[in-house]
Structure formats: structure tokens, C-alpha cells
Amino acid sequence: MNNGNDEQVTQVRESNTVQDGTNVRQQTVATTQNVGSGVVARRVIYYIAGFIIALLVLRLILLLLAANQGAPFVDFVYGLSGFFAWPFYGIFSYQPTYGQSTFEISTVVAIIVYALVATGLARLFTLTSSRTDV
């Protein structure tokens, strides 16, 4: 029964053939690895959180460089990342101004919070795992 650990199965196959009057012994090693559902769930959480954090970092960089919000890509990044940064806007009393170089502290807080939440959720899926390297 798979309890969240990786299962690794190694098979060694031997074959004897005659090649130019000489007996040749060949070995073939095949390794398969089954990954538990907890590990898969953990990886999915890390991929989703990584996407959100990368988007927020891109937002932070564009704000620091005072990117033109009229450009379609910049507007797209601001719109999409604004959804994830929105819950943290009221923490600090300042009004972000687009088009001027701004260090948006609420975006930094959002990055930290999403990283901590993702780590916590990912650990929940592998609590029963006996291995520390999953």
C-alpha cells in the first residue's frame, strides 16, 4: 500500500546471445517509480503558488521601473496580479500611482504570505510521510 512515499521498482533482465561464435551476456536494468498522491498534490500547490509569486514579482518590477500602463502587456500584468495583491492593499496607508516609480510594500507582503501559505498547505499533504526528502 502506498502511503505517500515514492515506490521504486528495479528489474534486471538477463539475456544470453551468440554473436560471431561468442556467447554474449546482456543485462537490462529498468527502473520505474510510482509517486504517491500526496506528493503530486504538493507539487501542484507549489506550481500554482510559483505562478502567483512570479506574477507578483513581475508586478513589483514593473512598478519599480514605472512601466507604461497603456502598454497591453503591462496592463495585463497589473490587472491579473492586482487580483492577488488586492487583499493586502489596506495594510499600509499609501496610494499606488501608476506611471511613477513605486515600491509597493503590499505586493511584497503578498509574496511572503502566498509563499508561507503554499508551504503550509503542501506540508499538510505529506504529514504521514516517513521520508524527509519528498
Burial classification of residue 125, based on how many CB atoms lie within 10 Å of its CB (0-12 exposed, 13-18 middle, 19 or more buried): buried
Residue 133 lies in a domain: no
Residue 26 lies in a domain: no
**Tally of domains in the chain:** 1
Residue 12 lies in a domain: no
Residue 97 lies in a domain: yes
Residue 10 lies in a domain: no
Residue 110 lies in a domain: yes
* Residue pLDDT tens, the chain, 134 long: 344 445 566 666 777 777 677 777 777 777 777 777 888 889 999 999 999 999 999 999 999 998 888 899 999 999 999 899 999 888 877 666 666 788 888 899 999 999 999 999 998 887 766 555 45
Cα–Cα distance for residue pair 75/63, rounded to 1 Å: 11
Q: What residues make up the domain containing 58?
A: 37-124
Listing DSSP states for 68-133 in one string gives -TTSHHHHHHHHHHHHHHGGGGGGS-----TTS----HHHHHHHHHHHHHHHHHHHHTTTT-S-S-
Cα–Cα distance for residue pair 71/94, rounded to 1 Å: 24
Residue 18 lies in a domain: no
Does the model's pTM come out above 0.85?
Answer: no
